[in-house]
Structure 1
């Protein structure tokens, strides 16, 4: 069976690339396609150092630095990939990868990290955060996103089977495409996060500092709790703004190595997570260390963290992204801390291992191939 794997863009190693890495382990003979490929030579191991077929966007001016600005051209770009020689096409999509063209004798399975967030339900948030909610540029952007929505909906018909990375994204797929999606949680390298039972007297948050991660909310909340220490790991566009908000009980460490991050995750009283994520890998990594999570109770966190209503909780939820709600959650965590077992946290995290992902997705694809073959033969 000839297999093609289509990925959005190859510029770094993040959440969607972890899915790609496991797909490449399962199907090392597959050919790989991507809108652009700017991975440095020393970071290509997770794609088995394969040669990647890229689109015309790869050669456009300044694309390496501003390839996202070419979003209006990306639908056209992925449609130019000639996949006619492949029996099975697997797309890993959070923007345009699912829009590739396949024929009636080809099986196309799309693992969707999310429909294009900034074109659908998060459009207004995106426009506000980028300053594109007014003026001529704003109207041009709205027009572009309108056309992308039409294209995105139309191309859903070319997908034979949808996979979602969480039930939350499954609901978004249904809302946008009116298609059912099987949930297979993404892989988390839980084995690399060593369990530690004894915790120290500080809280931890770690993230790229961009608006939707709400690191500013966490820092301001702890500023109101001067008796509690917070360590913040990560950098990004909002770093200076967040640094200005920090009180003396908040330590900003900036970008740190994996070993430093893991060490802090192992020792923290709790990991604080205030974003609304489609899945959310870092809360799972924290639990793998035996560390409970204080999280905003929306999105994928509701599927990866077990709340206080359970007999074996692994964390505490807060209902609103407000200072009052987060401060209340930290205080509830302190009152209920003895109910949360570090072992329960570890066991919960193991549900999301790499091995589990490979097993589930291979079983699913094999089943769909058998069903599809019986129809097309």
Structure 2
């Protein structure tokens, strides 16, 4: 079977790239089409193949500032041409890559991490009054064009797959199409050593996140400033300077760390703070695999992965509600084995088996979009 893979951009290794890595393991000879590729930014499994990029990849500084070129993304995807014959195209999409035209006679399975949040339900989070004027103006000018192109590009997809029930609902609402759900996974092997020999907990809470508006790092910082409790934040992103300026003395920014370092911080933390709206959320599962409970905003994909035995939820994205959840957490006891068991339900092997079953159904003609 001739397979072609597609992914929006390769500039780092996060949840979407972990899913792509499984596709690459399943089809080691498949070429990979992507808008932008920063060499060395992902894993050998992903990069050890033919990688085809769009014209965007030749723009100076694009690997750092690619989000500023969003209005050009549909054009870039439309201009990409899959050179190979293909029986099957698999896209890992959260932006425009699903719109690359498939080869004649092929089937296209699109694993949709999310309809573009910044065009639909979280438009105001990204482009509200807090955003720079030029961003608000650009979003207003290009929104209709981007939405119309996005909706039209769905005609190129034969079988859409949502990564969560929450995403399935959004696909139905915004795309007016039905989709099945295959949950992503947590790489459990990274946490086995700590599970066998648990480390002692220390006096801090943790966030592991990109610094994007929907992550609500600002809410966590305001809350921990008020409470005077220790918060360590791992990650980086577009809001970094702004967030550092609002942080008090009990908040520490650790930047981007190695995988092993992140695993160690997870294990030592009291709890993971997860105050944003996520479509699925692999980070909370990593926290559970580390033996660390979660304090999460009660909406979105976390309702499919977390429950009252492994997490404390809060209902409003306010300092008061998050503060109350932290107090509730500190008065509650958790059973570590229950945290491990919940994470184990979302294994890499389970994900791979579900994807293979779907491919078999599609290629035998038993399933169509």
Q: Same fold (TM over 0.5)?
A: yes
- The correspondence of residues 185-264 of structure 1 with structure 2, limited to 5 A, is 185-193=183-191, 194-195=194-195, 196=198, 198-226=200-228, 228-264=229-265
Local SS of the residue matching 1:269 = coil
1:115-173 alpha-carbon deviations (Å, 9 max, x no partner)? 122122222222227735x57x7444323221111111112122111111111111111
- The correspondence of residues 1-377 of structure 1 with structure 2, limited to 5 A, is 1-40=1-40, 43-83=42-82, 85-102=85-102, 105-128=105-128, 131=131, 138-193=136-191, 194-195=194-195, 196=198, 198-226=200-228, 228-307=229-308, 313-335=309-331, 337-338=332-333, 340-371=334-365
Shift of 1:199: 3.1
Quick one: distance in 2 between partners of 1:147 and 1:76? 11
Local SS of the residue matching 2:323 = helix
Shift of 1:63: 3.3
CA contact (8 A) 2:73 2:96 kept: yes
1:82-120 alpha-carbon deviations (Å, 9 max, x no partner)? 337211111111110111223673211100011122122
Shift of 1:368: 1.4
Quick one: distance in 2 between partners of 1:79 and 1:371? 28
The runs of at least 4 consecutive aligned structure 1 residues that moved more than 6 Å come to none
Local SS of the residue matching 1:36 = strand
Query: What's 1:310 paired with?
Result: none
Quick one: distance in 2 between partners of 1:48 and 1:95? 21
Local SS of the residue matching 1:204 = strand
Shift of 1:248: 4.5
Local SS of the residue matching 1:155 = helix
Deviates more, 1:258-267 or 1:240-249: 240-249
Quick one: distance in 1 between partners of 2:16 and 2:118? 17
Quick one: distance in 2 between partners of 1:140 and 1:220? 29
CA, structure 1 residues 102+254, in 2 after alignment: closer, same or farther (shift >3 Å)?
closer
CA, structure 1 residues 26+233, in 2 after alignment: closer, same or farther (shift >3 Å)?
same
Quick one: distance in 2 between partners of 1:80 and 1:249? 49
Local SS of the residue matching 1:205 = strand
Q: Mark the runs of 5 or more structure 2 residues left unpaired by the alignment.
A: none
Shift of 1:321: 0.8
CA contact (8 A) 2:28 2:49 kept: no
CA, structure 1 residues 57+303, in 2 after alignment: closer, same or farther (shift >3 Å)?
same
Local SS of the residue matching 1:328 = helix
CA, structure 1 residues 86+191, in 2 after alignment: closer, same or farther (shift >3 Å)?
same
Local SS of the residue matching 1:34 = strand
CA contact (8 A) 2:278 2:300 kept: yes
Q: Mark the runs of 5 or more structure 1 residues left unpaired by the alignment.
A: 308-312
Quick one: distance in 2 between partners of 1:2 and 1:129? 48
Quick one: distance in 2 between partners of 1:129 and 1:200? 39
CA, structure 1 residues 249+79, in 2 after alignment: closer, same or farther (shift >3 Å)?
closer
Quick one: distance in 2 between partners of 1:36 and 1:287? 33
1:171-190 alpha-carbon deviations (Å, 9 max, x no partner)? 11111111111111123212
CA contact (8 A) 1:24 1:48 kept: no
